[in-house]
């Protein structure tokens, strides 16, 4: 199974909105609403941001939102803050009853 | 609050077996959720290794399936990872995580991770 495709890096100024794409196939992202997003600060464990394409865990900031269209999912961070500087990974359940992660996107706050 | 903690050797010799344990607190391994292992080579992305249900059902990454075994110890509230015939390519930070009620879903929370280096 091939990793989902994400842009290597995305940057934005404080207060701006950025969107990270996650492109898969009809055997994963396109076929299931089991897309999740994780934030990973340097040297730390990943943290769940979004599950089931667009649901947020309890207590998580509503600045993070998810969506999906066809084989591509996306994560939008609005009101970008310095603390949002991290690596972001998408993940999808697949038709083989496995999981595949994205290639990862480094977000830089200018 | 659920917490997970990985433990095991930080150094494994090539061709030997990597064994890690994940200790769960704040929840029961038998609560009906899936439990998973992921790994991340230094400077690289995340890779799902496999998932286990307390009843013994397992799912593995096809690329690792021939070398991986994930098992549950309900009496100790732990689950374990065993990876045989390791090479330098298996050097990574290994994470354990709680999965969702059904196999399909998400992983939350994650343990802090443990670095395993394969070297002679």
Are A93 and B104 an interchain contact pair (Cβ–Cβ within 8 Å)? yes
Interface of B with A in 61-120 (CB under 8 A): 61-63, 95, 100, 103-113
Span A70-83, pLDDT tens digits: 999 999 999 999 99
Contacts of A100 in chain B (CB under 8 A): 48
Which of A18, A14, A48, A55 has the alpha carbon at shortest distance from A33? A55
Tell me the C-alpha distance between B40 and B53, whole Å: 23
Tell me the C-alpha distance between A89 and A63, whole Å: 17
Span B50-81, pLDDT tens digits: 999 988 899 999 999 999 999 999 999 999 99
What contacts A78, CB < 8 A, 6 or more positions away? Answer: A17, A63, A65
Nearest residue in chain B measured CA to CA from A46: B110
Contacts of B45 in chain A (CB under 8 A): 3, 89, 101-104
Which of B111, B107, B114 has the alpha carbon at shortest distance from B48? B107
Contacts of B64 in chain A (CB under 8 A): none
Which of B37, B108, B51, B72 has the alpha carbon at shortest distance from A46? B108
Tell me the C-alpha distance between B51 and B53, whole Å: 7
Q: Of A48, A93, A101, which has the smallest distance from its Cβ to B46's Cβ?
A: A101
Span B31-44, pLDDT tens digits: 989 999 999 999 99
Are A100 and B109 an interchain contact pair (Cβ–Cβ within 8 Å)? no
Q: Which of A4, A32, A45 to mutate to test the interface with B (most CBs of B within 10 A)?
A: A45
How much is the mean pLDDT over chain B? 96
Neighbouring C-beta atoms of residue B23, cutoff 10 Å: 17
Contacts of B5 in chain A (CB under 8 A): none
Q: Apex CA B51: angle with CA B13 and CA A26, to 5°? A: 115
Contacts of A48 in chain B (CB under 8 A): 106-109
Q: What is the pLDDT of residue B55?
A: 86
SS3 A5: strand
SS3 B39: strand
Q: What is the pLDDT of residue B56?
A: 87
Span B86-99, pLDDT tens digits: 999 999 999 999 99
- Residue A26: DSSP 8-state: T
């Amino acid at each position: 199974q091939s990793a989902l495709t994400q842009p290597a890096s995305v940057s934005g100024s404080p207060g701006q909105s950025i969107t990270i794409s996650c492109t898969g196939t009809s055997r994963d992202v396109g076929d299931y609403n089991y897309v999740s997003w994780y934030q990973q600060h340097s040297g730390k464990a990943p943290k769940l941001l979004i599950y089931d394409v667009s649901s947020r865990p309890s207590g998580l900031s509503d600045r993070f939102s998810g969506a999906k269209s066809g084989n591509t999912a996306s994560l939008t961070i609005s009101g970008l803050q310095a603390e949002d500087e991290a690596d972001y990974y998408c993940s999808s359940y697949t038709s083989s009853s496995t999981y595949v992660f994205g290639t990862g996107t480094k977000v830089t706050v200018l | 609050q659920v917490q997970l903690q990985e433990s095991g050797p930080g150094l494994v010799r090539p061709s030997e077996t990597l064994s890690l344990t994940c200790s769960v607190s704040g929840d029961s391994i038998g609560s009906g959720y899936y439990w998973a292992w992921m790994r991340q080579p230094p400077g690289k992305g995340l890779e799902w290794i496999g998932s286990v249900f307390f009843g013994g059902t397992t799912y593995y990454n096809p690329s690792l399936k021939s070398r991986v075994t994930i098992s549950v110890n309900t009496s100790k509230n732990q689950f374990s990872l065993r990876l045989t015939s390791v090479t330098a390519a298996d050097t990574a930070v290994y994470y354990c995580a709680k999965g969702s009620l059904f196999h399909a879903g998400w992983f939350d929370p994650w343990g802090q991770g443990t670095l395993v280096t394969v070297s002679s």
